[in-house]
């Protein structure tokens, strides 16, 4: 694909669709939403408002990190603190579908709609890519940002039109477009991170205590595996407990799963054959997290597993 | 330690304690109970009755295999079919302590007591080893066969005296004694297997369907890892489910954990650094078990983890 031409065509299309209207988008710091932010801002300038929703499910220091990156590119990002709304909506839920639905509903109905109203925007930009659409249509993925593909009229339901300029690209194409738009390497080459964020990395109920545990494990995994160049690496907190020994006494401890995969576009994935040095170091650090006494490595390719657990 | 002398001393002690009385023991096919069977039979001959309790929690073909091995040594083993009693007692239980207690109670109160009565035995031989006692006293292990150490009067509670001739040995010593008693290599060098059998390999409820799943995974792991010479290798079925893809559709699948450790005596253990060829082959075979779509490798040494999960 001729990516410079793709960018030019999309800018023209966006300008025609939006006209002199106002647009809004939410950036999560992931590759897709960062690239759509840069692309829509190139097309619309100050007609675009970009927000970052702090949902309590983010990695350590994420809101400030993301806002800082875009500030350097001259793109203002407003941080919306919605932590209490998300934690309240997730309370008591253990079913994966209900958890995702609670996050989607809180995001759109509670947080986003009021931001859209406040901004007066009629156009919402989404970082949907081709793989999202294929997997949602196939019933593999329950992606929250492809409402129109599922036949939901967003103008009726939420009061805005959804614009998805990346929906013909796969991950590698998105990265190329991001590079051409001047996004820094640590954004463009950032490993994928799911929409429901750390909630997708917790099997069972999402609580502040469990978020703290999986956030600590995520930081360790990202630090130890950043140098591998793998497509994606992550930590998952299981709901099961296992027996262990702490200070000479039997205890039930929590279980962290480490996953590290290679993939071109997330449709299929193979497991990275990490060195035993790395695996042992990960285990030592992860079992030092309070309450965690097991570290497992996920050996399963996609298919038959997905990348995430929830 | 002088093991031939140890054996002679134990035989003398056993003969003095039992006199002309009758004794009984249950053999599970593991190293400890097999060695105590051979030792007690050497001391008591036909005064000893040995039973194998088929509790529905065994590996494939285990009762026939064990009875066959001892038949060749001239030691008769009677198989007691108690599957319904164990499955009934485990129904609905998910707490590890309650599960172990249900197995202990079913074994002693329901099955064993009637066998003891039927046999007229006043002496029960147990394969307790030193590590069991240390870990139970330390609160790490809840071992069912060290009742006397816990201050339970078995003569009052169950009507027999417990005899534990291996209680001063660790695993390596038990193997040596077994060899000297003429037990075949595939018994003496058999990897350890827990008292609660496959129930210790199931996190959550123990049902026939879940036993079938973990039994299939156990067979694969034992087949693939027998050649490693590792101290112990096992498969665990978790209670959590994870998302996966089957025939192009999203599904929730079960998770099998593979564990393979090196150890001298089970007090401490390190994780075996299996080859990636082996890990990939295990994963392919395990994710072919109906309902299973994840295979994880446990990276955790003991401590902080134990060998088992339940």
When scoring B94, B245, B260, B287 by the number of chain A Cβ atoms within 10 A, the one with the most, hence best to mutate, is: B245
pLDDT top residue among A247 and B291: B291
**Max CA separation in chain A (angstroms):** 69
SS3 at position B228: helix
Which chain A residues are Cβ-neighbours of B294 within 8 angstroms?
Answer: 298, 300, 305
Contact residues, chain B, for A221 at CB < 8 Å: none
CA-wise closest residue to A139 among B310, B262, B251, B102: B251
Residue of B139, B142, B295 lying closest to A300 (CB–CB): B295
CB contact under 8 A, A304 and B298: no
This prediction has a pTM of 0.82
Angle at B251 between CA B250 and CA B252, to 5 degrees: 140
Distance of alpha carbon A187 from alpha carbon B72, whole angstroms: 69
**C-alpha pair distances (Å), B91 with each of B205, B238, B241:** 7, 17, 20
Q: Are the CB atoms for B121 and B287 separated by under 8 Å?
A: no
- In this predicted structure, the answer to whether residue B150 has a pLDDT above a threshold of 70 is no
Residues 6+ apart with CB under 8 A from B135: B141, B143, B267
A145, with CB counted inside 10 A (0-12, 13-18, 19+), is buried
The pLDDT value recorded for residue B281 is: 98
A309 vs B243, B250, B302: nearest CB: B243
Answer for the pair B199, B97: CB distance below 8 angstroms, yes or no: no
CB pairs under 8 A between A and B: 149
Q: Of the candidates B138, B293, B297, which has its C-beta nearest A297's C-beta?
A: B297
Contact B300 A310 (CB under 8 A): no
Instruction: Write out the H or E segment, with its range, that includes residue A3.
Output: helix A3-18
Dmax of chain B from CA atoms? 69
Q: Among partner residues A139, A204, A243, which is closest to B249 by beta-carbon distance?
A: A139
- State the nearest Cα–Cα gap between A276 and chain B, in angstroms: 7
Could B299 and A279 be called an inter-chain contact, meaning their C-beta atoms sit closer than 8 Å?
A: yes
Please tell me the distance in Å from A259's CA to the nearest CA on chain B. Answer: 9
Are B190 and B30 within 8 A, CB to CB? yes
B164 or A136, which is more confident? B164
At B242-257, the pLDDT tens digits run: 999 988 888 999 999 9
3-state secondary structure of B238: strand
The confidence score (pLDDT) of residue A79 equals 96
pLDDT over 70 (residue B263): yes
User: B87: distance to nearest CA of chain A, Å?
Assistant: 22
Could you tell me if B142 and B128 are in contact, meaning their C-beta atoms sit under 8 angstroms apart? no
Query: Do B287 and A300 lie within an 8 Å CB cutoff?
Result: yes
State the Cα–Cα distance between residues B237 and B165, nearest whole angstrom: 34
Nearest CB neighbour to A296, from listed B246, B298, B304? B298
Instruction: With both helix axes pointing from N to C terminus, report the angle between B3-18 and B31-44 in degrees, rounded to the nearest 10.
Output: 60
Contact between chains at B238 and A243 (C-beta distance less than 8 A): no
With residue A136 as reference, give the H or E element that holds it. helix A130-137
β partners of residue A202? A237
Q: Is the dihedral of CA A298, A129, A227, B281 positive or negative?
A: positive
Looking at chain A, which residue has its C-alpha nearest residue B291?
A: A304
How far apart are alpha carbons B145 and B128 in whole angstroms?
6
A18-27, A110-119, B155-164, range with the lowest pLDDT: B155-164
Average pLDDT score over residue span B31-53: 96
Of B21, B17, B23, the C-alpha closest to B115 is B23
Q: Which residues of chain A neighbour B280 with C-beta distances below 8 Å?
A: 271, 299
Mutate to test the interface with B, among A135, A224, A240 (most CBs of B within 10 A): A240
Cβ separation of B140 and A294 shorter than 8 Å?
no
Residue from the list A279, A296, A310 with its beta carbon closest to the beta carbon of B296:
A296
Token pair, residue A261, equals 């995969």
Confidence tier at B52 by pLDDT (50, 70, 90): very high
Q: Which of A39-48, A276-285, B111-120 has the lowest mean pLDDT?
A: B111-120
Portion of chain B with pLDDT greater than 70, in percent? 94
Of the pLDDT bands very low, low, confident and very high (cuts 50, 70, 90), residue B142 is: low
Rounded Cα distance, A115 and A54, in Å:
13
Contact A296 B297 (CB under 8 A): yes
What are the residues whose beta carbons fall under 8 Å from the beta carbon of B18, sequence distance 6 or more? B43, B44, B47, B123, B163
C-beta atoms of A276 and B273 within 8 A: yes
> What does the alpha-carbon distance between residue A119 and residue B75 come to, in Å, rounded to a whole number?
86
CA dihedral of residues A111, A112, A114, A117 (deg, nearest 10):
170
| Cα gap B24→B124, rounded to integer Å | 5
Residue B243 with chain A: CB contacts under 8 Å: 96, 305-306, 308-310
Q: In Å, how far is A117's CA from the nearest CA of chain B?
A: 35
Contact B250 A139 (CB under 8 A): yes
Please tell me the distance in Å from A176's CA to the nearest CA on chain B. 28
Q: Give the β-pairing of A161-163 and A249-262.
A: unpaired
**What integer pLDDT is reported at residue A138 of this predicted model?**
72
- pLDDT the model gives residue B160: 78
Contacts of A294 (CB under 8 A, 6+ apart): A242, A244, A253, A254, A255, A256, A287, B298, B300, B305
Note whether B253 contacts A304, CB cutoff 8 Å. Answer: yes
The nearest alpha carbon in chain B to A288 belongs to B304
At residue B143, the pLDDT reads 53
Quote the minimal CA–CA distance from A30 to chain B in Å: 22
The first and second tokens of residue A38, run together, are: 């840069």
A306/B243 CB distance under 8 A? yes
The reported pLDDT for the residue numbered B151 is: 63
Residues of chain A with Cβ-Cβ distance to B269 below 8 Å are none
What does each C-alpha distance from A206 to A100, A118, B267 come to in angstroms? Answer: 11, 30, 35
Nearest 5°: phi and psi at A186? Answer: -75, -10
- Residue-level pLDDT at A192: 77
Q: What is the pLDDT of residues A17-76, one digit of tens each?
A: 999 999 999 998 889 999 999 999 999 999 999 999 999 999 988 999 999 999 999 999
**What is the spatial distance between Cα A286 and Cα B183, in angstroms, rounded to a whole number?**
43
For B294, the closest of A138, A248, A300 (CB atoms) is A300
- ipTM, two decimals: 0.81
Interface test with A, best of B295, B301, B308 (most A CBs within 10 A): B295
Cβ-based neighbours of A265, under 8 Å, separated by 6 or more: A131, A170, A171, A172
**Chain-chain contact of A305 with B253 (C-beta, under 8 angstroms):** yes
Residue B156 pLDDT > 80: no
Predicted confidence (pLDDT) per residue in A125-177, tens digit: 999 999 888 877 776 665 545 455 556 677 777 677 889 999 999 989 999 99
At A114 the pLDDT is 86
Q: Which of A305, A307, A308, A310 to mutate to test the interface with B (most CBs of B within 10 A)?
A: A305
Q: Is the peptide bond before B38 cis (omega within 30 degrees of 0)?
A: no
Partners of residue A241 in chain B, C-beta under 8 Å: 203
């Amino acid at each position: 694909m001729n990516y410079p031409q793709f960018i030019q065509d999309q800018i023209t299309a966006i300008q025609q669709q939006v006209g002199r209207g106002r647009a809004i988008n939410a950036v999560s710091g992931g590759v897709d939403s960062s690239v759509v932010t840069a692309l829509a801002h190139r097309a619309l300038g100050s007609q675009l408002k970009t927000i970052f929703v702090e949902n309590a499910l983010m990695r350590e220091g994420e809101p400030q990190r993301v806002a800082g990156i875009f500030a350097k590119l001259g793109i203002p990002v407003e941080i919306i603190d919605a932590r209490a709304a998300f934690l309240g909506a997730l309370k008591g839920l253990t079913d994966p579908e209900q958890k995702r639905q609670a996050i989607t509903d809180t995001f759109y109905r509670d947080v986003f709609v009021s931001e859209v109203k406040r901004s007066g925007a009629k156009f919402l930009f989404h970082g949907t890519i081709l793989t999202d659409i294929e997997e949602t249509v196939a019933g593999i993925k329950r992606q929250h940002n492809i409402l129109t593909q599922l036949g939901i009229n967003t103008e009726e339901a939420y009061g805005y039109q959804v614009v998805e300029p990346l929906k013909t690209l796969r991950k590698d194409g998105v990265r190329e477009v991001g590079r051409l738009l001047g996004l820094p390497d640590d954004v463009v080459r950032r490993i994928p991170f799911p929409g429901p964020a750390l909630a997708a990395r917790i099997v069972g109920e999402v609580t502040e205590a469990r978020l703290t545990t999986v956030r600590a494990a995520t930081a360790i995994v990202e630090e130890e595996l950043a140098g591998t160049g793998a497509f994606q690496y992550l930590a998952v907190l299981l709901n099961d407990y296992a027996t262990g020994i702490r200070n000479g006494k039997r205890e039930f401890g929590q279980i962290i799963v480490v996953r590290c995969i290679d993939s071109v576009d997330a449709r299929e994935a193979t497991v990275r054959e990490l060195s035993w040095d790395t695996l042992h170091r990960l285990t030592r650090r992860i079992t030092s997290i309070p309450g965690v006494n097991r570290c497992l490595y996920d050996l399963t390719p996609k298919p038959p597993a997905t990348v995430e657990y929830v």
